[in-house]
A and B are shown apart, each in its own frame.
Chain A
Amino acid sequence: MSSELGVRTDYPIPASRRFRVYAFDPLASTSLDTALVNDAVISLPWEEPWEEPLGKGPSGEYLEVVDYDPSSGLFYEPLDPTASILLAQDGLPPSESRPQFHQQMVYAVAMKTIRHFERALGRKVLWSRRRGEPNDGFVRKLRIHPHALRERNAYYSPDKKALLFGYFKASQTAAGLPDGWVFTCLSHDIIAHETTHAILDGVHRRFIEPTSLDTLAFHEAFADIVALLQHFTMTEAVEQQLAQVRGRLRTRNLLTGLAHQFGDATGRMGALREAIVIEGTGDGTGDKPPKRYADSEEPHERGSFLVAAIFDAFVTIFERRTADLMRLAQTTALGEELHPDMVKRLAAEAMKAADHLLRVCVRALDYVPPIDIRFGEFLRAMITADADLIPDDRLHYRLAIAEAFRRRGIFPKGCLSMAPDSLLWETPDAWDASLAGIYFGDLVPDLDLQTLYSREAIWDQAQKNQVAVWRWLTHTDDMTPEWERMLGIRLGPDAPMTIERSAKTGAPKVEVHSVRIARRAGPDGQDIRQLVVEITQTRRGFFDPEAQARADRGEGDPKALDFIYRGGATLLVDLRASLIRYDSVMKLSEGKIRYAVRKRIDDDRRLQAQRDYLRGGADRDLGFVYFGERDGHEPFAMLHRG
């Protein structure tokens, strides 16, 4: 018996596909300590019936590895992961010299990253829209080119919907082979990092716009956080490293650094980036005073403060989870090795804590403003997202997170204090009582809320829902000033003339960016069904405030601008019924707006801040002068080549 896919239906389908990979990168295989644990296996769930089956490339529902190496002028034959001889041995064994292993590893690590996101987000990962493509710009597969560049670089190209990995000869190395080849597509961390860029762009495509120091830095930091916390999914490696540092995660080790081989091959004598900044030193290697978050302007450096904060919170949580274990084992004396059982227990706790924190970070993505994100806002998003799902914070995760941010001087604007309670986003009626009656009740029936599985069907559904929300917003006669206030946008005839106008009606344009449905389950059976709606407006910005004022009044060329300025809000709408005060009576309805995370389009202070940022102190990099402001054409390539 066989199905049309050629699979025998009388055999059970396996739960997972297994792929051998490097737990870190090839360098870790050259040291006796780490060689054993560097040989790891990634288990990916077997494809579901609605997903595209895995095939040559590897190529599947989400990804497609196409291995063209233009600098060598060669294509490399695609791996066939379904070959029975490979299925029997978890894919090819790790090997630097076989390009098909590169394809296997890059595919497996990228897929693992995607699955982590899906679990935390409570929905499917979709790539960002590609304008001009059929079906509203749906791009099913992100391409991966493991050998696209011959340089010390790898980047996500929003334009090509592709990850491009480079390789190079190590000119200076302390641990590796001088003049040996280094492949970025064999670094677990670099793959996870670049995949995260692509996923994040699929969720928030405006985050690649350089509107503030924090925004580009956020992309980098978030990608690093994911790569770092994913270290704690590889059991053997975690156990081995924890044994080595005797359970103390505040000591630098393979788990706390990113991309060791890359770092070594570029003369850094260690990891490319470290999550642990040793107190009292600038970067842990010199005697420079520590840099402060507020003073750092280079995106990766600034991002490192966010990474360090998250990692600090993670270690605090880990320590809290294991304090009892440590006391029981009384392994305080130095030089004593931990009992292997103890190591296993510690590793289990570390993996659990990392998993929790990664989920908190990923879930927070639905709670951030649609544009111009700041680190402080991400903190509030994390706290709120976590409080929504897990009201009772028994292990004080939220306190640990807030503490870690406070220690690094990352503060949100407009909060009463750094207590987790004060960090929650306010419900709209808390900042404006007149917003209490505002809800999406009469919109909900117009939305398609059925549970779908195929990504393309989900994409179509989201497009339809976007149109429904847009129509509801713009074609309602009673669009009240309350709505404008809540959304941070301007719709009336008195809106500044610099706000983009509809060609048809001449009214201010509104963009409904995304309408997504999130379903999440908390540990105690909590169930959340939310609609996440992003609404934005676009406004022409001018460097000269007087020119701005003139253009706002409608004088001058209606197309002129120095830069693009945006405003808008992320709305979190409860799809469960809840009590809503309506015309001073309470009634039960769906569609209550739990939070409106807004950035006002008419906020002149933020406009001025963006102006200052774009014109820059003298401290912008050369790319700014010669290639102008980063214009969305390979924004990450310049950042990484920088």
Chain B
Amino acid sequence: MAKTTTTVRMYKGLLGDCFLIRLKSGQSVSHILIDCGILQNIPGDKAKMQAVAADVVAATGGRLDLLVVTHEHHDHISGFAHARAVFLEGGLKIDNLWMAWTEKEGDPQADALNLKFNKAKQAVAMAVDRASALAAAGVPGADDIVGGLEAFIGPVDPPGGVLGAAERLTGKVVMRKLKEVTRAGGGKVEFLEPGDVKGTPGAASLKAYVLGPPRTEKRLYHDLPSHHPGKEKETYLDRFSAADQLLSAAEGAWEDGEPERPFAPRHGLTPERVQAGSRPGHEMEEIEQDVDWLKTAYYAAPDWRRVDAEWLGMAGALALKLDSDTNNTSLVLAFEAPGGEVLLFAADAQVGNWLSWHDQTYGPAATAAADLLSRTVFYKVGHHCSHNATLRKDGLELMASPDLVAMIPVVESVAREQGTKGWNMPFPPLLERLLEKTKGRVLRGDQPTDKAAFKKSRVRTGPGDLWVEYDALV
């Protein structure tokens, strides 16, 4: 087999993933693009992603041998929408599209999963709507809830899944359109299963091992390093039945059209009634007195006493769980060169996904995941180097190659601005360990490239620091 040189280009300045791989074997060249996204609500995101898309077109001559979309998260797919002319409207020809089995319509497990995710997403969106309305009415605390949630969900399908006239490009829609445009251009769409081994399409090719996402539900919903083995399922049920309750409460409707409320209808007074105060001369005097008591106790008290919005805070926990579960549906690929070296693209896989790699062997030679990890010379660090997306013992510590290089698609300054106190990305202890394992050969999306640690001319940077690339296999 001819030698296949491999160059990985990471687009910089994105809190999001976009990687272009160039394979060269003799005169043959193939291109693989893995994800294209930036976090939502970043100023200048559209222009930035259009520049990235233009570079992809230029570098590939307008044709991709393979597009890999790892999972349906804004920071991995928003570029397809920002540069829709290129990706969704035929500007770039896509010969092959790889997605995880979780995106396969008609697959019962995938459909059930997506139904759950959708429901949770709608519940969160509903909470955002309700909290926004409260915030507009000046109810204290509501703003915090909106702020905490918006970062998670991006554009959301409205309940019922019917899009409005001004179609928003939600994650679902982007995924669907990518499949459509690929097929329309005569390309092939494949949904990969854990354990699959196949050559990457194109004249120059590497062997691809599909490590995740797992089919096992226990693994799929395992997001965190756990102290309670076996309890994950319970947590998951908790959270998604929370979605049910949040949704039905927020909609205020139940199957038979009656609002779902815990007490018989004779109990209770609406806020409007309480705010209006007692009705003089009304026959039920006790009730009128109660109205006045409640009005004074609730509305005449200082604002900080009010609790209108607190119940929507649960959407935060739900959003977190949903976010991690979606990360766990990441398609994880290990590319193997004929010489045995491995390039690992972990997408945003979380704990359960990582653990599941070791649940099966790969190919007729029954290759073990641990073996692949031990030969890894290039690691695309999971989930922007967060604390729970690089497994320690059964992950990074198995990467024993002295040539290991890591790329981290992260912008720390942006990450620190997210949420109420900032996202801890890159997670310092993990970054330290990566620097140790790679002997300083870590390429970050947010830092000037220091070529000193690398062998001569294996690292190059693009114009305007748009990208950095590394010759992983020479």
B205-244: CB near A (< 8 Å → 1, else 0) gives 0000000000000000001110111100010011001101
Q: Is the CB of A73 within 8 A of B320?
A: no
Number of chain B residues whose Cβ lies closer than 8 Å to a Cβ of chain A: 69
Chain A interface size range: 35 or more
A618 touching B310 in the complex, CB below 8 Å, given contacts A78-B290, A97-B263, A642-B317: no
Q: Is the CB of B307 within 8 A of A145?
A: yes
Which of B163-171, B268-276, B440-448 lies at the interface with chain A?
B268-276
Q: Is the CB of B274 within 8 A of A97?
A: no
A164 CB contacts on chain B under 8 angstroms: 307, 310
A-facing residues in B133-182 (Cβ within 8 Å): 144, 148
Q: Is the CB of B242 within 8 A of A151?
A: yes
Listed residue (A151, A620, A623, A642) with the most chain B CB atoms within 10 angstroms of its CB = A151
A619 CB contacts on chain B under 8 angstroms: 225, 227
A66 touching B298 in the complex, CB below 8 Å, given contacts A617-B429, A631-B420: yes
Q: Is the CB of B144 within 8 A of A633?
A: yes
Quote the shortest CB–CB distance from A63 to chain B (angstroms): 12
A68-97: CB near B (< 8 Å → 1, else 0) gives 111111111110000000000000000001
Q: Is the CB of B290 within 8 A of A625?
A: no
Q: Is the CB of A641 within 8 A of B311?
A: no
- State in angstroms the CA–CA spacing of A372 and B456 once bound together: 52
Which of B13-21, B75-83, B88-96, B386-394 lies at the interface with chain A?
B386-394
A148 touching B263 in the complex, CB below 8 Å, given contacts A78-B294, A627-B148: no
A233 at the interface (CB under 8 A from B): no
Residue of B nearest to A67 (CB): B294
A-facing residues in B421-447 (Cβ within 8 Å): 421-425, 427-430
B5-36: CB near A (< 8 Å → 1, else 0) gives 00000000000000000000000000000000
Q: Is the CB of B307 within 8 A of A625?
A: no
Q: Is the CB of A626 within 8 A of B263?
A: no
B144 CB contacts on chain A under 8 angstroms: 633
Quote the shortest CB–CB distance from A641 to chain B (angstroms): 4
- State in angstroms the CA–CA spacing of A329 and B97 once bound together: 80
A72 CB contacts on chain B under 8 angstroms: 249, 259, 261-262, 268
A99 at the interface (CB under 8 A from B): yes
A638 CB contacts on chain B under 8 angstroms: 317
Quote the shortest CB–CB distance from A129 to chain B (angstroms): 13
B62 at the interface (CB under 8 A from A): no
Q: Is the CB of A626 within 8 A of B262?
A: no
Q: Is the CB of B267 within 8 A of A615?
A: no
Residue of B nearest to A167 (CB): B262
Residue of B nearest to A171 (CB): B241
B-facing residues in A587-642 (Cβ within 8 Å): 615-629, 631, 633-634, 637-638, 641-642
Q: Is the CB of B387 within 8 A of A620?
A: yes
Which of A33-41, A152-160, A456-464, A489-497 lies at the interface with chain B?
A152-160
B317 CB contacts on chain A under 8 angstroms: 638, 641-642
Q: Is the CB of B245 within 8 A of A77?
A: no
A286 touching B230 in the complex, CB below 8 Å, given contacts A74-B270, A77-B267: yes
B148 CB contacts on chain A under 8 angstroms: 627
Q: Is the CB of A626 within 8 A of B293?
A: no
B250-267: CB near A (< 8 Å → 1, else 0) gives 101000000101111001
B324 CB contacts on chain A under 8 angstroms: 622
A270 at the interface (CB under 8 A from B): no
B308 CB contacts on chain A under 8 angstroms: 68, 70
Quote the shortest CB–CB distance from A97 to chain B (angstroms): 6
- State in angstroms the CA–CA spacing of A488 and B268 once bound together: 55
Quote the shortest CB–CB distance from B141 to chain A (angstroms): 8
- State in angstroms the CA–CA spacing of A373 and B101 once bound together: 49
Determine which of A70, A161, A162, A628 lies in contact with B421 in the assembled complex, contact meaning CB atoms within 8 Å. A628
Determine which of B230, B264, B294, B307 lies in contact with A97 in the assembled complex, contact meaning CB atoms within 8 Å. B264
Determine which of A66, A168, A266 lies in contact with B297 in the assembled complex, contact meaning CB atoms within 8 Å. A66
- State in angstroms the CA–CA spacing of A624 and B428 once bound together: 13
Quote the shortest CB–CB distance from A50 to chain B (angstroms): 23
A143 touching B388 in the complex, CB below 8 Å, given contacts A99-B267, A152-B238: no
A616 CB contacts on chain B under 8 angstroms: 387, 429
Q: Is the CB of B245 within 8 A of A150?
A: yes
Q: Is the CB of A73 within 8 A of B270?
A: yes
Quote the shortest CB–CB distance from A613 to chain B (angstroms): 12
Q: Is the CB of A98 within 8 A of B267?
A: yes
Q: Is the CB of B269 within 8 A of A74?
A: yes
B187 at the interface (CB under 8 A from A): no
- State in angstroms the CA–CA spacing of A74 and B273 once bound together: 10
A296 at the interface (CB under 8 A from B): yes
Quote the shortest CB–CB distance from A304 to chain B (angstroms): 12
Quote the shortest CB–CB distance from A60 to chain B (angstroms): 13
A529 at the interface (CB under 8 A from B): no
A145 CB contacts on chain B under 8 angstroms: 307
21 residue pairs of the A-B complex, CB under 8 angstroms, read A56-B293, A70-B310, A71-B311, A74-B270, A76-B267, A77-B269, A77-B290, A78-B294, A78-B297, A149-B311, A149-B314, A150-B249, A150-B314, A160-B305, A160-B310, A162-B305, A625-B423, A627-B316, A627-B419, A629-B421, A634-B310
Q: B: which residues have CB within 8 A of A?
A: 144, 148, 223-225, 227-230, 234, 237-238, 241-242, 244-246, 249-250, 252, 259, 261-264, 267-271, 274, 287, 290, 293-294, 297-298, 302, 304-305, 307-311, 313-314, 316-317, 320-321, 323-324, 386-388, 392, 418-425, 427-430
